[in-house]
Amino acid sequence: MELKSQKMLWKTENAPHRALFGALGFTEEELRRPLVGVVSAFSEIVPGHIHLDKIAEAVKAGVSSAGGTPVLFPSIGVCDGIAMGHEGMKYSLASRELIADSVETMAMAHCFDALVLVPNCDKIVPGMLMAAARLNIPSILVSGGPMLSGKSGGKRLSLSTTFEAVGARMADKIGDEELRAVERDSCPGCGSCAGMFTANSMNCLLEAIGMALPGNGTAPAVSSERIRLAKKTGAKIMELIEKNIRPGDILKKTAFYNALAVDMALGCSTNSVLHLLAVANEAHVLLDLGILNEISAKTPNLCRLSPAGPFYVEDLHGAGGVSSVMRELSKKGLINTEVLTVTVNTVGENIAGAPDGDGEVIRSVDNPYSETGGLAVLYGNLAPRGCVVKRSAVDENMLRSEGKARVFDSEEEAMRAIFAGLIKKGDAVVIRYEGPRGGPGMREMLGPTSALAGMGLDKDVALITDGRFSGATRGSAIGHVSPEAAQGGAIALVEDGDIIAIDIPGGKITLVVDEKTLEDRRAGWKAPEQKENLGWLSRYRRMVSSADRGAVLE
């Protein structure tokens, strides 16, 4: 392929450019090689990123060993756990767009020939993947890997355990000492939080969609395997440059369908829906929210990883990882094995040697946890354009339910009611004005869901929002209600005491109120006053689309 860096550097009029590279310490020999941007989300505020300096150095070594010149530059990243439960969470989803824009800016301004992207956590992975799709220069991703699960008193723990322990303490089910023990032991070191939460969901889906090497989603952050994977990734980008293989050659509709099938088999976070829609938008692939139910209907759920079950991502790795899951699905024709990947081989070639599932962490397609996938999209008069639930994390008794609405216009209002003991069995908690525009920023609601779970109400109370949920959420937690309340969606018309009927197997959610009453309520509805002084979130609010389109900027 023709190298952009060479066109930028080696004309007479490019002497100033060469001078500036010389000021950086680059030799002429280095500048004659392909310039590979290494985009690292390293920081000292995100546990999933604290070790990415080591991963990025391994990537650079791989690039250099294969004949390229690596050039490091940074990316921002929000820790969702630290941002949870306060105004900071408004910035999390919105930061995905900043990340994509900043990677595009750096790549275009400096004429990089290719990119190796090094993310690890929730919005950083999709933001970098969106940039790769948008730029369409040779690109590959390698994440920092999952955190190991914690252990305390013979029990395995993760961050979600800590959030749920807060609810248990508020309900006097545990004491201060037990809460402190969970707090101390739940996050034992670096990496993306240990369960099949959003970060690990997206890191696994990078493999499934073909933009990362096998092992990317599951090799532990603290393992030497992770360092070796980073070196191999750095070397692989040079082959992608040589053969001019770009994201546009990989991110076809069939690749997205593969990712959705793996999503269903693993029981990934509901946030994966938002992110796959957004990446598809950048790749100019038409991906409709309704396709999820079609794929879910024929894709068995093979894994029950925390919070849906007792296993963690390290267990998935030991059982064969994403490759084994894909090989299992391929036995029933649920994976397109002809899709090209960044290995420069097809999916079929990648998974040919993967071991069979162990029957426990990864079940066979003939003995799944359920015949249908881990996510479901529900439609009805409450969500005409859809809403999403992690079906695999819902108790069997809550798959079909009716609840009495308890309505709150913010997460904070709901949390006060939950901790005050005002939510009872059979309630349907509605949290609105937390959507992409209403929030703004579509905050995650791990606080309310974990509080309910800790209080023992997750099997009896539904939670419905136009916001979204952490991948660590379990229970009948239904998010992404579209249209959102701030746009006058039906969720804005719900009143305390209304009955909400939920039928997850049937894909339905119904506000049991007659149409005339809803019309009268709509006539009296007024859009809420918008908060001022929101900085760049004011721009985001004006430009962001609804959740059913991936909350992308218009």
What confidence tens digit (pLDDT) does each residue in 482-499 have? Answer: 999 999 999 999 999 999
382 CB neighbour count, 10 Å cutoff: 27
Cβ neighbours of 452 (radius 10 Å): 28
Question: For 270-327, how does the pLDDT look when each residue is reduced to its tens digit (9 = 90+)?
Answer: 999 999 999 999 999 999 898 999 999 999 999 999 999 999 999 999 999 999 999 9
Pairwise CA distance, residues 441 & 430, whole Å: 18
**Cβ atoms of residues 381 and 510 within 8 Å:** yes
Per-residue pLDDT, 533: 62
| Single-letter residue type at 137 | I
| CA 520 – CA 540 distance, rounded (Å) | 31
Strand order across the beta sheet in which 139-141 lies: 69-74, 35-40, 114-118, 139-141
Distance CA 517, CA 106 (A): 53
Instruction: Note the pLDDT of residue 71.
Output: 98
Using the predicted structure, report yes or no on whether residue 529 has a pLDDT greater than 90: no
Give yes or no for residue 362 having a pLDDT over 90: yes
pLDDT for 417: 95
470 is catalytic: yes
**What CA–CA distance (Å, rounded) separates 428 from 461?**
6
DSSP codes joined into one string, 440-476? TS--B-HHHHHHHHHTT-TTT-EEEESSB--TT--SS
Please give the model's pTM, rounded to 2 decimal places. Answer: 0.95
Higher-scoring residue by pLDDT: 446, 441: 441
CB 378 within 8 A of CB 502: yes
Transcribe 483-532 into DSSP letters. Answer: S-GGGT-GGGG--TT-EEEEETTTTEEEE-S-HHHHHHHHHH--PPPPPS
451-457 average pLDDT score: 89
Q: Which two tokens stand for residue 325?
A: 């899951």
Average pLDDT over the chain, rounded to whole?
A: 95
The DSSP annotation for 255-297 comes to HHHHHHHHHHHHT--THHHHHHHHHHHHTT----TTHHHHHHH
pLDDT of residue 531 exceeding 90: no
pLDDT digits (tens, 9 = 90+) for 127-180: 999 999 999 999 999 999 999 999 988 899 999 999 989 989 988 999 999 999
Q: Tokens 């994976």 — which residue?
A: 335
Question: Tokens for 403?
Answer: 């609840």
Burial class (CB in 10 A: 0-12, 13-18, 19+), 27: exposed
Longest dimension (CA), the chain: 76
Residue 507 pLDDT > 90, yes or no?
yes
pLDDT of 335 higher than 90: yes
Cα(38)–Cα(31) distance, integer angstroms: 16
Residue 383 pLDDT level (bands cut at 50, 70, 90): very high
Does the pLDDT value for residue 473 go beyond 90? no
Q: Given this model, what pLDDT does residue 179 score?
A: 95
Q: What number is the average pLDDT over the span 51-80?
A: 98
Confidence of residue 534 (pLDDT cuts 50, 70, 90): confident
- More reliable by pLDDT, 531 or 254: 254
Distance CA 482, CA 386 (A): 6
The mean pLDDT value for 182-210 works out to: 97
CA distance 131 to 315: 31
| pLDDT tier at 399, thresholds 50, 70, 90 | very high
> Which tokens go with 479?
């998010």
Q: Would you say 457 and 425 are in contact if contact means Cβ atoms under 8 Å apart?
A: yes
Report the pLDDT value the prediction gives residue 2, as an integer from 0 to 100. Answer: 85
Helix locations, 371-439, DSSP H:
411-419
With a cut of 70, say whether residue 373 has pLDDT above it: yes
Residue among 139, 324, 470, 546 flagged as catalytic: 470
**Angle at 268 (CA atoms; ends 39, 41), nearest 5 degrees:** 15
Q: What is the pLDDT of residue 186?
A: 96
